[in-house]
Structure 1
């Protein structure tokens, strides 16, 4: 499933770039990021995990498809309370007004720097859907905000290890541990024109 998602992601990005008819600009992005996870077992909420905040910084390209529609692939590093991840969103941007756009698209993330126990428990590759908006202050500067909804289960270990890590006693036939991670980010963009 991971390989299929990655292959579809790369195919989408490649076809979009190859079909782009307009200008392409490159830039830098950075700002504030907040992440939280919700753990459930057998459909019952049991914990909020890793609710924290930090920063992100990275690179982006803005590919013009039409005068109002752009594709914006990005790669950035985000640090949330000492934990790091590399994020790769591909946003479809549509300008609903002269300088105001709405955005949506898929995002992959790869958690970095986990200890051995965390590596046993956590699926380090995440897939999410991102929704947001942006405003172009000038031709070079913009602000944007997004909410990313985690789609895949981030728990990769067995139920006993997962419960121990959350300090929850294993009380019997609890199955299907699930952890979804959502993030919110707001930042600035500088485009090289």
Structure 2
């Protein structure tokens, strides 16, 4: 986990050096997580098990041009004994003054749930600016494998 935080802070430092004239924004984010675990059951169909947890982490918003930016994040997700790191890299489109659409892949490292601990998922997110530095966001993370932890994230971020 220390290497993930180190990677994130190095990313912030390099981004800040490369884009010194831009308005680089970063800050903490966190909220509620609902994870949907798809468990196949004989001939009775799929039983979707829902787990409720939390997430917290950091993000960096790096402007590219006009209404486009790149927003990498590192989030720690805890759901009972099920814990993992979620690291999406979003292409962020500013749809209006206060509304954004974010889409991209997310790299995930699962600490103790799977034998293959590293998984890639697809994320789709929307955010709405409530105050100048405070956003609410909703994101859906879609897994691609048979035992699939899909997730719904609802939370807030603070822009520094």
Does the TM-score normalized on the shorter chain lie above 0.5?
Answer: yes
Larger radius of gyration: 1
How far apart in 2 are the matches of 1:104 and 1:182?
A: 15
Residue in structure 1 matched with residue 119 of structure 2 by the alignment: 126
How far apart in 2 are the matches of 1:37 and 1:133?
A: 23
TM-score for the superposition, normalised by structure 1:
0.67
SS at 2:147's partner residue?
A: strand
- State the shift of 1:41 in Å: 8.1
Structure 2, unmatched stretches of 5+, are 1-10
Structure with the larger strand share: 2
Residue in structure 1 matched with residue 110 of structure 2 by the alignment: 111
How far apart in 1 are the matches of 2:46 and 2:132?
A: 47
**How big is each residue's C-alpha offset from its partner over 1:129-183, in whole Å with a ceiling of 9 and x where there is no partner?**
01121011222111111011102x3xxxxxxxxxxxxxxxxxxxxxxxx212200
How far apart in 2 are the matches of 1:134 and 1:144?
A: 4
Residue in structure 2 matched with residue 99 of structure 1 by the alignment: 98
Structure 1, unmatched stretches of 5+, are 1-12, 154-177
Q: Do 1:39 and 1:45's aligned partners in 2 also have CA atoms closer than 8 Å?
A: no
How far apart in 1 are the matches of 2:93 and 2:60?
A: 15
Count of aligned residue pairs for this structure pair: 145
How far apart in 1 are the matches of 2:149 and 2:18?
A: 33
How far apart in 1 are the matches of 2:26 and 2:67?
A: 17
